[in-house]
Structure 1
Amino acid sequence: MDVELIEIGDFLAAYHPFDMLPPEALETAVASLQSRYARAGKTIITVGDTVEHLYIVRTGALETRDPAGEVLARAGEGEAAGAAALLRGGEAVNTVTAIEDSLIYALPAETFHTLRQRYKQFAYYFQPLGGARLRTGRAVSNQGHGHGQLNLMSIRLGDMLRRPPVTIEPDATIHAAGACMSREGVSCLLVVEGDRAVGILTDRDLRNRVVAKALPYDTPVSQVMTPDPLHLEADDYLFDAMLIMSRHNIRHLPVLRDGALAGVITNTNLVQTQNTSAVYLVGDIYKRDTAEGMRDALTMVPELILQLVETGASAHNIGHVISTLSDAATVRLMALAEQRLGPPPVPYVWLAAGSQGRHEQTARSDQDNCLLLSDAYDPEKHGEYFKTFTRMVCDGLNICGYVYCPGEVMAMTDQWRQPLKVWKTYFSRWIDQPQPKALMHASVFFDMRPIFGNHALFHELRAYVLKKTQSNGIFLAYLASNALSRQPPLGFFRNLVLIKGGEHDNTLDLKHRGIVPIVDLARVYALDAGADAVNTLDRLETARDKGSVSKDGAADLRDAWDFISTMRLRHQALRIRENKKADNYVSVDNLSNFERDQLKDAFSVVKTMQGALATAYQTGRM
Structure 2
Amino acid sequence: MSAPSHDDTPILSATPVRALLRRAPLCVPPQLPIRAAAQRMREHGVSSVLIAEEGALRGIVTDRDLRNRVLAAGLDPARPVIEIATTALQTVDIGDAAFDALLLMARHNIHHVPVTEGGRVVGLISSTDLQQRQSDSAVVLAHALHQQDTVEDLRRVTQRVGALQRQLVAAGASAHAIGRVVSALTDALTMRLLQLAERELGPPPVPYAWVAAGSQGRNEQTAQSDQDNCLVLDDAYDEARHGAYFAALARWVCDGLHACGYVYCPGEMMATTPQWRLPRARWQELFRSWIETPDPKALMLTCVFFDQRFVAGERGLLETLRAEVLARTPGQRIFLAHMVANALTHTPPLNWLGRIQTLRDGEHAGAIDLKHSGIVPIVDLARVYALAGGIAAVNTRERLLRGADSGEISPDRARDLVDALEFLSTLRVRHQARQLEAGHAANNHLRPAELSALERRHLKDAFAVVKDLQSVLEKRYLAGRF
Q: Could you tell me the TM-score, scaled by structure 1's length?
A: 0.71
Query: How many angstroms apart in 2 are the aligned matches of 1:255 and 1:419?
Result: 35
Aligned to 1:152, the other structure's residue is in SS state helix
Max radius of gyration: which structure?
Answer: 1
Q: Hey, what does 2:344 align to over in structure 1?
A: 484
Tell me by how many angstroms 1:273 deviates. 4.2
Q: RMSD of the TM alignment (CA)?
A: 2.7
Matched, 1:342 2:209: no
How many residue pairs are counted as aligned between the two chains?
A: 476
- The 8 Å contact of residues 420 and 461 in structure 1, kept in 2 or not, is answered as yes
Counterpart of 2:267 (choices 403, 407, 413) is 407
- The 8 Å contact of residues 10 and 174 in structure 2, kept in 1 or not, is answered as no
Counterpart of 2:278 (choices 408, 418, 423) is 418
Query: How many angstroms apart in 1 are the aligned matches of 2:76 and 2:145?
Result: 32
1:130-161 deviation digits (Å, cap 9, x = unpaired): xxxxxxxxxxxxxxxx9x99533123334344
1:169-318 maps to which residues of 2 (within 5 A)? Answer: 169-191=29-51, 198-227=58-87, 229-255=89-115, 263-318=123-178
Query: How many angstroms apart in 2 are the aligned matches of 1:366 and 1:149?
Result: 25
Q: Hey, what does 1:76 align to over in structure 2?
A: none
Tell me by how many angstroms 1:247 deviates. 2.3
Query: How many angstroms apart in 1 are the aligned matches of 2:315 and 2:53?
Result: 31
- The 8 Å contact of residues 151 and 312 in structure 1, kept in 2 or not, is answered as no
Q: Hey, what does 2:297 align to over in structure 1?
A: 437
One-letter amino acid of the counterpart of residue 339, structure 2: L
- The 8 Å contact of residues 225 and 263 in structure 2, kept in 1 or not, is answered as yes
One-letter amino acid of the counterpart of residue 372, structure 1: V
| Residue range with higher mean Cα deviation, 256-265 or 360-369 | 256-265
Q: Gaps (5+ residues) in structure 2?
A: 1-5
**Bigger relative CO (Cα 8 Å, ≥ 6 apart):** 2
Q: Hey, what does 1:607 align to over in structure 2?
A: 467
Q: Hey, what does 1:4 align to over in structure 2?
A: none
- The 8 Å contact of residues 481 and 619 in structure 1, kept in 2 or not, is answered as no
Tell me by how many angstroms 1:619 deviates. 4.5
Tell me by how many angstroms 1:233 deviates. 4.5
- The 8 Å contact of residues 151 and 313 in structure 1, kept in 2 or not, is answered as no
Counterpart of 2:244 (choices 363, 384, 387) is 384
Matched, 1:323 2:183: yes
Query: How many angstroms apart in 1 are the aligned matches of 2:232 and 2:332?
Result: 25
- The 8 Å contact of residues 152 and 312 in structure 1, kept in 2 or not, is answered as no
Distance change (3 Å), C-alpha of 1:429 and 1:299: same
Distance change (3 Å), C-alpha of 1:607 and 1:312: same
Q: Hey, what does 1:130 align to over in structure 2?
A: none
Tell me by how many angstroms 1:510 deviates. 0.9
1:261-316 deviation digits (Å, cap 9, x = unpaired): 66532222222345321112222222222222211221221122122223332222
Query: How many angstroms apart in 1 are the aligned matches of 2:277 and 2:135?
Result: 38
One-letter amino acid of the counterpart of residue 307, structure 2: D
Q: Hey, what does 1:508 align to over in structure 2?
A: 368
Tell me by how many angstroms 1:214 deviates. 1.2
Query: How many angstroms apart in 1 are the aligned matches of 2:430 and 2:47?
Result: 38
Aligned to 2:316, the other structure's residue is in SS state helix
Aligned to 2:426, the other structure's residue is in SS state helix
Query: How many angstroms apart in 2 are the aligned matches of 1:455 and 1:619?
Result: 40
Aligned to 1:365, the other structure's residue is in SS state coil
Q: Hey, what does 1:545 align to over in structure 2?
A: 405
Distance change (3 Å), C-alpha of 1:580 and 1:428: same
Identity %: 50
Matched, 1:520 2:396: no
- The 8 Å contact of residues 12 and 134 in structure 2, kept in 1 or not, is answered as no
Tell me by how many angstroms 1:471 deviates. 0.9
Distance change (3 Å), C-alpha of 1:437 and 1:203: same
| Residue range with higher mean Cα deviation, 245-254 or 415-424 | 415-424
Query: How many angstroms apart in 1 are the aligned matches of 2:362 and 2:72?
Result: 61
Aligned to 2:75, the other structure's residue is in SS state coil
Tell me by how many angstroms 1:406 deviates. 1.5
1:597-621 deviation digits (Å, cap 9, x = unpaired): 2111211110110111111112459
Counterpart of 1:494 (choices 316, 335, 354) is 354
* Between structures 1 and 2, the one with greater strand share: 1
Tell me by how many angstroms 1:197 deviates. 5.3
Query: How many angstroms apart in 2 are the aligned matches of 1:231 and 1:217?
Result: 27
Counterpart of 1:565 (choices 407, 422, 425) is 425
Aligned to 1:404, the other structure's residue is in SS state coil
Aligned to 1:265, the other structure's residue is in SS state strand
Distance change (3 Å), C-alpha of 1:264 and 1:167: same
Matched, 1:360 2:220: yes
1:13-63 deviation digits (Å, cap 9, x = unpaired): xxxxxxxxxxxxxxxxxxxxxxxxxxxxxxxxxxxxxxxxxxxxxxxxxxx
Q: Gaps (5+ residues) in structure 1?
A: 1-145
Q: Could you tell me the TM-score, scaled by structure 2's length?
A: 0.90
Matched, 1:556 2:434: no
| Residue range with higher mean Cα deviation, 236-245 or 180-189 | 180-189
One-letter amino acid of the counterpart of residue 569, structure 1: V
Query: How many angstroms apart in 1 are the aligned matches of 2:122 and 2:318?
Result: 36
- The 8 Å contact of residues 10 and 173 in structure 2, kept in 1 or not, is answered as no
- The 8 Å contact of residues 34 and 78 in structure 2, kept in 1 or not, is answered as yes
1:98-109 maps to which residues of 2 (within 5 A)? Answer: none
1:522-537 maps to which residues of 2 (within 5 A)? Answer: 522-537=382-397
Tell me by how many angstroms 1:466 deviates. 2.9
Aligned to 1:151, the other structure's residue is in SS state helix
Distance change (3 Å), C-alpha of 1:345 and 1:230: closer
Tell me by how many angstroms 1:253 deviates. 2.2
Query: How many angstroms apart in 1 are the aligned matches of 2:211 and 2:152?
Result: 23
Q: Hey, what does 1:373 align to over in structure 2?
A: 233
Aligned to 2:475, the other structure's residue is in SS state helix
Query: How many angstroms apart in 2 are the aligned matches of 1:475 and 1:159?
Result: 46
| Residue range with higher mean Cα deviation, 473-482 or 229-238 | 229-238
One-letter amino acid of the counterpart of residue 333, structure 2: G
Tell me by how many angstroms 1:475 deviates. 1.5
Tell me by how many angstroms 1:515 deviates. 0.4
